[in-house]
Amino acid sequence: MGFFSDLFKKSNFFASEYTDKSMMSLVEVMNAHANWKSRLNQFIAGTLPYSLDPDMLAEADDTELGRWILQSDTLQMSDERRLLIKQLHQANVQLHQAASTIARLIQAGKQADVAVENDKFLNASRQVMVLFRELGKEN
């Protein structure tokens, strides 16, 4: 197996029904991302039956969305689509940084500080969804 194959196998949290190495469709990526967000929201609400590792949450490229972005053949894209992919990557990184901070705050018992970081998470999440819609228009 190659370097990236080994790299992307390290987290059970990010495991999903999408384990095929072929490129996922945009709809599959959107669904996988929604599932990821749902698990994070359960963790924030205290209803997830296990804890989340803040270091793993910070790994934006170790999710279906992150892998999809990295696997995108930007050389074959229009300039506009290439820019959307770049913006999506940036928003995804911001989202994962906020998720990681949220997990650290929850684990430290600092529930009062979670709301501020959750606003950052929600803003990045909205940006990801806007970019998904824009990318969907181009297909």
Question: Does the pLDDT at position 6 exceed 80?
Answer: no
Using CA atoms, how far residue 88 sits from 36, 64, 76, 80, 103, in Å, is 16, 13, 17, 12, 22
- For 72-124, the pLDDT digits (tens) are 887 888 999 999 999 999 999 999 999 999 999 999 999 889 988 999 999 99
- For 27-73, the pLDDT digits (tens) are 999 999 999 999 999 999 999 999 899 999 999 999 999 999 998 88
What integer pLDDT is reported at residue 73 of this predicted model? Answer: 81
Q: Domain total for the chain?
A: 1
Query: Domain containing 106: what range?
Result: 51-139
User: Does residue 126 sit within a domain?
Assistant: yes
User: Does residue 12 sit within a domain?
Assistant: no
The CA angle 128-45-11, to the nearest 5 degrees, is 60
User: Does residue 37 sit within a domain?
Assistant: no
User: Does residue 104 sit within a domain?
Assistant: yes
